[in-house]
A and B are shown apart, each in its own frame.
Chain A
Amino acid sequence: MPTTEPVYYSLTCYVNGERQTLRVRAANTLLHVLREDLGLTGCKPGCENGDCGACTILVNGLPIKSCLMLAVEAEGLQMTTIEGLRNSPVLSVFARKQAFQCGYCTPGFIVNCHGLLSAHPDANVETIRFWLESNICRCTSYEEIHEAVQAVFCAEERCKAVILRELRRGRYGRNPSYSENHTTDR
């Protein structure tokens, strides 16, 4: 039997580097709480079924689908949404390459790509494909998205060194999972 009264829980978490204390309904997904309670509407409700990736955010540096996580599960966790990636090199490359049409899927792609860049700065083609096939673009801008992602990962070594230094400093949002000993596997 479901309970008849809404059950609220206190939640303390860190979103885009800021500490947030909220009261959340146990049955609310993180997607809903980020959008409705914190006004972070960059993560988009698409399928709300784990299929499209429009709601992707980073939790402790790893991409997750916020429609598949309860807000109460986020106690103590570090989260980054597209709003926290204003200065991300991935965002500027997507803008430069015009890797979108309607733009609905774009935050999810950028967040996922940023997560990949932090975890695997030297990701090979296969790893890039593996990670990015988690996101769907209904306008089928795949050609431009592919070009943008290529540009991020094929940046000149000098550029990459700057990006990595900034990533380590947390300039593009906190990234606790980043480690010097990153592996190149998936």
Chain B
Amino acid sequence: MIPFDFEYYKPSSVREAVLWFQQLQVQRKNPMYFSGGTEIITWARRNSIQPGAVIDLKAIPECGVIGFHQDRLILGSCVSLSVLSSANPFPLLSVTALGVADQTARNQITLGGNICGKIHFRETVLPLLMSDSRVILAGEKGAREVSIHEVFLHQIKLEKGEFIVQILIEREYLSLPFFHVKKRQIGNVGYPLVTMAALKKDERTRTAYSGVCVFPFRSIEIDQALNDATIPLTNRIEQAIGKLPAPVVTNEEGSAAYREYVLKQTMAEAVITLEGR
């Protein structure tokens, strides 16, 4: 049971959502945007967050879209991970989404919520980082379209009162050769020891990681090391490991040393798979 009270708003347009946020902010109600709600509910139950109001985005038509406009795939931020995977417009994103939580939870967890969540895996951002996707944001100053790299560095960084309406991906990325592996300590459900996703574009492999450090990331330096065909694969991987953006995590899923070992194996699998294609 959630041990405190909050108000609930369900706007039916982007503008209404932003206006509610502003008003509730003025009233010092510490509003939060609410999408699938799974993280907000579980964190509120433990009293780790205390919003005075939540603004449910699911009735906003733009947030529920899956479709194409000209040469771009448009994904609404409130599309659930199970709907996204079964519609399958971007196979790498589908398999990544299928690795998150379990099928029942994926009926509730949304793409926007997974990217903006505080739980540090945020696995569905990996394909979005590699495909240089764009993000439509709405806030006090209106709507803006930005590169994912401008608003996602380790975690989402939005202006106060802003939310993700849609994510846009160029069609050329959707059918590129890809690799995806989620390695867990045990079983098929659970947080990752290592999740690695990779795409091959213009004969070069792009990679992105979750579970390795305390945030998901894509690193140009790691990609440069892994693509350096002038040296043997083991040396490339050693160099890539030297470029990790933060210490490797030790937690209940595995120690840093074990994770690093698994990461090296996974990098080798990815490079061998994609170089052969």
Q: Which residues of A contact B (CB under 8 A)?
A: 1-7, 9, 25-29, 32, 48-50, 53, 56, 62-65, 67-70, 72-73, 75, 112, 129-131, 133-135, 183, 185-186
Contact = CB atoms under 8 A, between A and B. Distances in A.
Interface residues of B, number: 40
A49 B5 contact: no
Contact of A27 (B6, B42, B104, B107): B6
Contacts of A75: 10
Interface in B48-102: 50-54, 56, 58, 82, 85-86, 88, 98, 101-102
Given A9-B8, A48-B45, A133-B103, A68 B108 contact: yes
A7 B37 contact: no
28 contacts: A1-B30, A2-B5, A2-B30, A3-B6, A3-B7, A7-B6, A29-B2, A48-B45, A50-B42, A53-B102, A53-B104, A64-B107, A65-B104, A65-B108, A67-B41, A68-B36, A68-B105, A69-B37, A69-B41, A70-B8, A72-B8, A75-B10, A131-B103, A131-B104, A134-B105, A134-B189, A186-B85, A186-B86
B38 interface: yes
A27 B2 contact: yes
A73 to B, nearest CB: 7
Given A62-B107, A134-B103, A186-B103, A68 B5 contact: no
A2 B51 contact: yes
B248 interface: no
Interface in B160-209: 187-189
A3 B52 contact: yes
Task: Give the interface SS of chain B, mostly helix, strand, loop or mixed.
Answer: loop
Contacts of A73: 37, 56, 58
A57 to B, nearest CB: 10
Given A7-B7, A134-B105, A68 B52 contact: no
B188 A4 contact: no
